[in-house]
Each structure stands twice: as structure tokens, then as C-alpha cells.
Chains A and B, each alone.
Chain A
Amino acid sequence: MRGRNWVATVFFAVAGLGVAAPCNVAAEQLEAHASVTPSVVALNGQFTLDVEVRGTDRMDVEPTLPDLGDFSRYLGRNSSTSMQMINGVTTVSLTIQYGYRAIREGTFEIGAVEVEAGGQVLRTQPVTLTVSTTAAAVGGGAGPENPSGVGPEDLFIVAEVGSTRVYQNQPIEVSYRIFTRVNVTSFTLVNLGESEGFWVEEVPGPQNPEVEQMVWNGQPYTTAVVRRVVLFPAGPGTKTIESLSVEASVRVRRRARSVFDDFFGGGSLFGSQAPTVIVSNPVEVEVLPLPVEGRPRSFTGLVGRLNVSAAIDRSSVETNDAVTLELIVEGEGNLRGLAAPIVDFPGDFEAFPPEVSEAIDRTGARVRGRKTYTYVLIPRSPGEKTIPPVEMSYFDAESGQYATSASEPLRLDVTGDAVIVAPSGRAGVETLREDIRFIQIGPPNLGAIGGSLADAPKFWVVALLPLVALVGALGLRRHWDRLEDDVAYARGRRAGAVAKKRLGQARRVMAEGDARAFYAEVERALRGFLADKLNVAEAGFMSDVAEAELRTRGVPVVVAKKYFACLGECDRARFARPSSSAEDRSEFLDRAAEAMTAVQEGFP
């Protein structure tokens, strides 16, 4: 783009060398200088970084450039030397031009360039570069740097979007249309603007776009659609259709700035060719998620329209012969991204993966087409078979509803013998379809919700009864141990039983009528009981000692008195003549038993 200028420079350089080669240039002060042209550049426009060294015509090494990869792409380099002679002073300079294309918007500082020349290291001043889309949108910048002089209203590109509010996977048609009032000789798509989150279906156009005349903002324009795509948004949310950049060559006739410009401008008979980058407007699209409610199981994800039909090539077949099933899916929308339908073949059919062919027609306003799945089926057993309908659901964006298309069920008569396919003798059991296991039908063992084992009284019986039994057993054990170890305790506990036995003996003797023996027996019972209770020897038993002992043990005096009264009576009866009647004896026996009970209870 600035070729002309450096052609002129080279010319001078060559001319200068030819004329003033012998001049002394060694004393020259070395100077390095960097500049960027234009300093304001359109996005995707080209700019040049010029590194100039004055005072020499060669550099020791290639200059070290700062990294510009962030915002630009390197295109190429050019170098030239020039020699100027002013008032007898010769100035030699070397200029290296680096061409770049700006790829990011913003203002950037290009740092110092390090130049080694004549054994010196020189650093240039940093320069700034502004990359702006506005400069581009107005036609490559109409500022002083714009070489074409094409204004923003003269040449621009517009993205025409069919709809900006769509459902996920609903096709959006986008046409990029150039509007021009100047003579565009050619154009190239510089940056296709990869839009994130879209599945792109390119609509092929004619080699040379159809040129129309249109009126825009009251002005007549020549327009042409330069690119047409159909986008399918992959997910919900606000998505941006990125802008498209086009570099157009504009034939302009312009005023010559100098006689050399005119002279070297070249081919100016038809005006000059000026490349201009124009960028379309990015478009925001609101993508709605597909409703979850009412989504059929056979939903394919397609938004548009579908029609499923199925056909087999014959209605009766022998076992082991192949049948072709053709499943045709026709419709509008993202057919290319459509997954293969699930066909529920009868279990005794061998089905091979389908052969898929598609014919997508993108010429109309919508992407429509047809996908054909060809299955080869081999029935293995005879009978009347039915291939169930194939269901495919889609979302109709116009009505905002899900719809399902299903093919007709197909009947097939299979004759012949059943064939057992055993390719290698034995094979694993094949899972034909997955389903949940059957319900439980045994007794349900119902329980209360939130209930636990502790709600059942049985639980407490089982839990506590053994504990109670253990406590009881421990008590019993202790009692037995004491009976064994503690004589006094054992005698005391046994006293009642012994006494009862003796009184029983006395009753027997009483029945025999021996009064003396009776009283002796009762006395033995009374004495023995008391001796056991107090744990003293029965032989050396003293009544008064025993009475005192009883009192210290807390037995009431009255009770003790009665007891000893009984003992006394026995004594008397043994030595006196027993004159009492049988009733007296019986009554005495009762009294003795009563006294014993009283003493027993009197013990603490």
C-alpha cells in the first residue's frame, strides 16, 4: 500500500549512489527512528512499522523487534536505503519496513526497537498504534491516513439476521451485504468472525455475487450479498454473531500530492487501487432454552420440522435373506447434526449399522433436506414379524410445541426354517433392551413410617426380661453364697423351716396322745428356733441371756415375753403331770407357732 513511496525512495537511493558514492559518510552521527503508519488503523487493516537508521546503509544484525503478536499478525518485510545530499552533506539511511495486519482492537504501545549498527546499539523511541473498529466501520478510516479516501457512507457491510430471538438449535439465517457507492473491483473475506456457540452451515453462493441496486437511508447503493450462513445456536443465553471483515479494493481517482506521486503512481489512467477493510456489525442474539415440559422421550434435539417414513423393499422373505429397510427423515433444521433414530428391531433380526446419506438443500430461505438411513436386516426365525414405528420428535419453533413424527409399522412375512446363528460355536447372551427389573410380589412386611424396632412391646420384653432375670439370679447367687459362708445367716434363714418341722413332729406326737413327748418336742422347736436365730449353741441355751439378746436385736419386749411364756409352759408340762386336754395342747401348739412368727417378724 505504501509501495509507491518506497519505490520512490529506492529510486532516489539508486540515483544517489550513482551520483554521490564517493562522498564521506563515515563521520555521520548514527540515529535510529521508528514510526508506524498509519497510526490509527482499522481492525484487520494493515499497518507498517518503519525502522530507520540514519548515518549508515547497513545494520550489523537484524533489529530486535518488540513482540507485537498480541494485536497483529506479521506479514512481511522490506528494506531500502537512501542517500540525500543537501548542501554538500550526504545523509545515508537504511529503512526496514515490517508489514502487519491488526487483529485486535485497542491502543497499543510498540516498545523500543533495538538496532545494532556501526558497532553501536541504538534504541528507538516507543510509538503508539490505535486499532479501532469504528475506523473500520466507517470504511477503513476517513482520516488523513486513509489512503483511499473512501468515506463511511461510501462503503460498508451489514449483517442481516433473520431473527434475534430464537430457540436453541433453531436456524438463524445471516446474510452479509456490502453497500457501496464507489467502484469496488474485488474483495476478499479477511476474517470470517468465528462466532462461539454456533453450529455453522455455510450457504454456498454464486462465484460472483449478484449485484443489486438498493436504497439505504435515502441514498442509492450498489449492494451484493457476499456471504450467507445459517447458524444453529448450540446452547441458551445471549450469544454474539461476530462481525465479518472484508477487504475491498476500491478504485479511486485522487489528486496527486506531488509530481512524483503522480509519476510513480502507476496506471493512474483508471485511478489507483486502494484496499479498504470494512467490518460488519456484530449482532447479539437471545437464545431461549427449549422447554423441558412436555419433552418427548424420542426428542432428537432438532428445531424445525421432521417427517419420518419407513419402507422395506419386500413384504415376505425367507429366513437368512437380507431385507433392506429404508428410513427417510425429511425436514427443516439442523439435519446434519441429527442423531440416528433408534429402531426397535424384533429380537430375532440381525441388523447392521445403517448406511446414511444426506441431501441438504441450502438454497432456499431455510435449510431443508433429507437423511436416508438404509438398514440391512436378516431375519433369523420364521413368522409374521412387525417392525415397530420409528418415532422422532422435534420442536416446532413457530408453535413453541414439541411434535412427534412416526413411521408406519411394517409387516414382514418370514418363511423358512429358524436359523441359529452361532458364528464361533458359542456366543454370550446378548442384551436386546434394557428394562427395570420386575416388581416384588411377596409379602410386603409393612411397618409404620418412621417406626422402629422400639415401637414393638415384644422388643422391650426381649430386651428387658433377660436383664431382670440376671438381676434376680445375682441376688439368688448372693443369698446362696451367704448361706454357705455365713453360718449365722444360714441358721437364721433356716430357723423357721427347722422349727416348722419340729412343730409338725409335735403335732404327730400329740395325735399319739403322749403329752410329755409333745411338750418336749414343742420345747425343742422353740429353743432350736431361738438358738438358730441368735446363732448360739442349743445346748447351752439360757433363757435370760436369750431374752436380753432378743431385746438388743430390737424384738419387742411383749413378743419376747410371750415366747418365753410358751417355753416356761413347756418346762412346767414336762415336769408336772400333764393334765391338759387335747384341745389345750392344740391351742398351745398354735400359740407356740404364733410366738415364733412374732419373733421372726420382730427381727429387723
Chain B
Amino acid sequence: MRTIVSTVIAACVTASPAVGALEVVAQVEFYQEGNRQYQEGDFENALTSYLRLVEAGFESGKVYYNIGNTYFKLGDVAQSILYYERARRLLPGDEDVQANLDLARSLTVDEIEPLPRFWLFSAVEWWVDLLPRTLLIAVVAASYLVGTSIVLLLILKRGAPVAAWGKRIALACGVVFLLLGLNLAVREFEVGRAQEAVVLEPQVDVMSAPLDDEALTIFTVHEGTKVRIDRLSEEWAEVALEDGRVGWVPVGVLEAI
């Protein structure tokens, strides 16, 4: 029995991609090269370096943040907003990301007053984004492991003198695991998260229906504006602005965050 378990563990641990680890090392070099070029003021090449990393299929909040900075320095505010938003997904609550995103937003044409939100939604969002990912994973894993270990001990050593305390700790671990585990699930598997996108075209007419008819134009948005995608067909997307206005735009003018 014991040997089977240890074999399973060994198999799982060794199965983690050794090749992938090597690749990551190579990509980190692109990142460092991009950082060097950025500090030298060579933003074009810094962007190329960072984007190579992304094209290779890797991402990280810091990389997205740096790409956002590079686009900003190159004068492309819309792209910088897109990448800051991407960075914010991975690094919620990061002050640098938020500060730069705010600055970039202040340079866009559309000034959109967001609708007041129900406080409960804001509270839930605050809670979901409260902890950095690594810390969240560590806390969830720790509470899970400690909780199950204590339950294990309680099962095996019934009537131990510390059983009452053990039960309390296990209960606390269970509560922490449930609350933060839900957070982690939402963040890792994008459960219940709206799909959002950034307008990249300088000026986009928003239609009242998915038809290319000038008469249907209900309002116009400009580059850098963030929208929520409600419905998506092959050519058109129904988008909602933060102030609640809704309309259709061609899919090509948007890039999903």
C-alpha cells in the first residue's frame, strides 16, 4: 500500500514537464533583454522582446505590465490600456498597474462615468482580488493540508487529549479553505467573470443592431475604451460600456483582455 502511494507521487512529480522548465528559462532571457532595452530607451526592440515571450505562449502579470509601459512610451495608449488590463487580471491589487492604467485612461477620448454598482458586487470583487495569487495558493493549500491532516489524526487517534483543539483548528481551516478556495477557483478558472475587451480602432461607431448601416449608429467610442462583451457572433459583438450603454460593434475593432 505505502509503496503504491509513493510510486504515484513520484510519477506525478517527475511528470511535470522538464522540457517546459528549460523553455521558461529561455523566455526569461527575452524578458530580461526587454527590460534592458526599455531602460536604454529602445522601446521598439523592448516591445519585440516582450512580445516574443507572449507569442511563445507565456504570460505573467509583470510581462504584461512592462508591455503596457512600452506601448505607452511608444504613444499607443489603447494597446497600453489593453496590456495593463491583462496585467491587472494576473496581478489584482498591484498599485503600479493601477496607477499606470489610471494615467493611460486619463489620456483617452471617451470619459465614461461608470454606473454606481450594488455594494455587494463591489465587496465580492474586492474580496476575490484581495490576495496576490501566490499567497492565495499558499494559504488555500496550507489550510487544506493542515485541515485534512488534523482530521486524519482525529480519525486515527480518537480520544486524544487535544481533540477539542484539533476540531477547532480543523474547522477554521475548513472555513478558510472554502472562502479562499472559491476565490482561487474564480480567479484560476474565470468562473463568473465577464469577458472584457478594449477598443483599438481610433473611432468606432456603435450600432443598435449587428448591421453595417450608418442610420443605426447610436453612439461613437474611441480607442482605449474598455467594454464588456455580452454576446459574440462571428462578425459582431454586443458590447456594454461602463455607463450601461449597449450596442453592436464589429469584432475586429476589439481585443479581448
Tell me the A residues contacting B by CB distance below 8 Å. Answer: 292-293, 297, 434-449, 452-454, 456-458, 460-463, 465-470, 472-474, 476-477
B interface residues with partner A (beta carbon < 8 Å):
1, 5, 9, 12-13, 15-16, 20, 24, 27-28, 31, 35, 38-39, 53-54, 57-63, 65-66, 69-70, 72-73, 75, 96, 99-100, 103-104, 134, 137, 141, 144-145, 148-149, 151-152, 155-156, 158, 184, 188-189, 202-203
Residues of B near A447 (CB, < 8 A) are 58-60
Contact A440 B58, CB 8 Å, known A453-B184, A457-B12, A466-B145: no
Complex contacts, A469 vs chain B, CB 8 Å: 148, 152
Chain B residues closer than 8 Å to A477, beta-carbon distance: 155-156, 158
Looking at the complex, which one of A434, A435, A441, A468 makes contact with B35 (CB distance below 8 Å)? A441
Cβ–Cβ contact A473 & B156, under 8 A: yes
A442 to B61, CA, bound (A): 11
A444-B63, A466-B144, A470-B151 are contacts. A437–B96 as well, Cβ < 8 Å? yes
**In contact, A439 and B184 (Cβ under 8 angstroms):** no
Q: Give the most central of A292, A436, A439, A468: most B CB within 10 Å.
A: A439
Give chain B nearest CB distance to A96 CB in angstroms: 52
Determine if B96 and A440 form an interchain contact, defined as CB atoms under 8 angstroms apart: yes
Cβ–Cβ contact B69 & A458, under 8 A? no
Residue in chain A with minimal CB distance to B184: A453
Main secondary structure of the interface of B (DSSP, over half): helix
Distance to closest chain B CB from A135 (angstroms): 35
A462 to chain B, nearest CB (A): 6
Looking across the interface, which residue of chain A has its beta carbon closest to that of B98?
Answer: A437
Please, which residue of chain B has its CB at the minimum distance from the CB of A474?
B155
Q: Could you tell me if A449 and B9 are in contact, using CB atoms closer than 8 angstroms?
A: no
* Contact between chains at A457 and B16 (CB < 8 Å): yes
Contact pick for B12, options A458, A467, A470, CB 8 Å = A458
Q: How many A-B residue pairs have CB under 8 A?
A: 110
A476 near B156: Cβ-Cβ < 8 Å: yes
Contact among B9, B69, B72, B148 for A470, CB-based, below 8 A: B148
Q: Is the CB of A466 within 8 A of B152?
A: yes
Nearest neighbor of B141 in chain A, beta-carbon distance = A462
| Cα separation A439 to B73 with both chains bound (whole Å) | 11
Most buried by B among A438, A444, A472: A444
Contact B203 A439, beta carbon cutoff 8 Å: no
Residue of A whose beta carbon sits closest to that of B99: A437
Contact A453 B188, beta carbon cutoff 8 Å: yes
Q: Give the distance in Å from the alpha carbon of A282 to the alpha carbon of B24 in the complex.
A: 70
Asked whether, in the complex, the Cβ of A470 is within 8 Å of the Cβ of B155, the reply is yes
A472 to B155, CA, bound (A): 10
Q: Does B12 contact A444, Cβ atoms closer than 8 Å?
A: no
Given contacts A454-B189, A465-B9, 18 further A-B contacts (CB under 8 A): A297-B75, A436-B100, A437-B99, A439-B39, A439-B70, A440-B62, A444-B60, A445-B134, A446-B27, A446-B28, A446-B53, A446-B63, A462-B141, A463-B144, A470-B148, A470-B151, A470-B152, A477-B156
A168 to chain B, nearest CB (A): 13
Bound: A476/B1 CA distance, A: 13
Cβ-defined contact, A453 with B13, below 8 A: no
The answer to whether A443 and B144 touch across the interface, beta carbons within 8 angstroms, is: no
27 of the cross-chain contacts (CB-CB < 8 Å) are A436-B104, A439-B39, A439-B65, A439-B70, A441-B35, A443-B28, A445-B61, A445-B62, A446-B27, A446-B28, A446-B63, A449-B59, A452-B189, A453-B184, A454-B189, A457-B16, A458-B12, A458-B16, A461-B12, A461-B13, A462-B145, A465-B5, A466-B144, A468-B5, A473-B155, A473-B156, A477-B155
Smallest CB-CB separation from B65: which chain A residue?
Answer: A440
Please give me the 3 A-B residue pairs with the lowest Cβ-Cβ distance, nearest first: A466-B148, A440-B62, A292-B202
Q: A446-B58, A448-B57 are in contact. Are A436 and B69 (CB under 8 A)?
A: yes
State the CA gap A463–B147 with chains docked (Å): 12
Which residues does chain B contribute within 8 Å of A446, judged by CB atoms? Answer: 24, 27-28, 31, 53, 58-60, 63
Interchain nearest-CB distance for B246 vs A (Å): 25
- Please give, as numbers and ranges, the residues of chain B lying within 8 Å of A435 by CB-CB distance: 103
For the complex, give the distance between the alpha carbons of A483 and B99 in Å.
66
